[in-house]
């Protein structure tokens, strides 16, 4: 699953550590999600979307739905 997490995080000037602290996950988890090595659990995906004021669909994109 692809995502816009890195772009959203960078637009706010947040480090991976800062985002991890906000989400109560490790910096390594943030990195793994950003690089597509790990898909977040549904509760974590909801927390990410809520933190950025977006829907899950606005943050996470399945490969078949990409243009």
Sorted by where each begins, the domain ranges of the chain are: 2-62
* pLDDT range class, residue 48, cuts 50, 70, 90: very high
CB atoms within 10 A of CB 57: 10
* pLDDT (mean) for 23-27: 98
On the question of pLDDT at 67 being above 60, the answer is no
CATH hierarchy code of domain 2-62 = 1.10.260.40
Q: What is the pLDDT of residue 62?
A: 66
Q: What is the pLDDT of residue 65?
A: 53
Structure token pair of residue 12: 């706010």
Query: Please, what's the b/e burial string for 1-28 (b: 16 or more CB within 10 A of its CB; e: otherwise)?
Result: eebebeebbeeeebebeebbeebebeee
Q: What is the pLDDT of residue 57?
A: 94
* pLDDT (mean) for 8-12: 98
- Number of helices (H) and strands (E) in the chain: give both, helices first: 5, 2
Q: Are 3 and 59 in contact (CB under 8 A)?
A: yes
Q: What is the pLDDT of residue 61?
A: 80
């Amino acid at each position: 699953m692809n995502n816009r997490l890195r772009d959203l995080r960078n637009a706010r000037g947040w480090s991976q550590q800062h985002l991890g602290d906000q989400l109560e996950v490790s910096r390594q988890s943030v990195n793994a999600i950003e690089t597509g090595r790990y898909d977040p659990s549904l509760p974590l995906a909801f927390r990410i979307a809520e933190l950025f004021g977006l829907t899950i669909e606005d943050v996470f994109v399945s490969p078949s739905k990409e243009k």
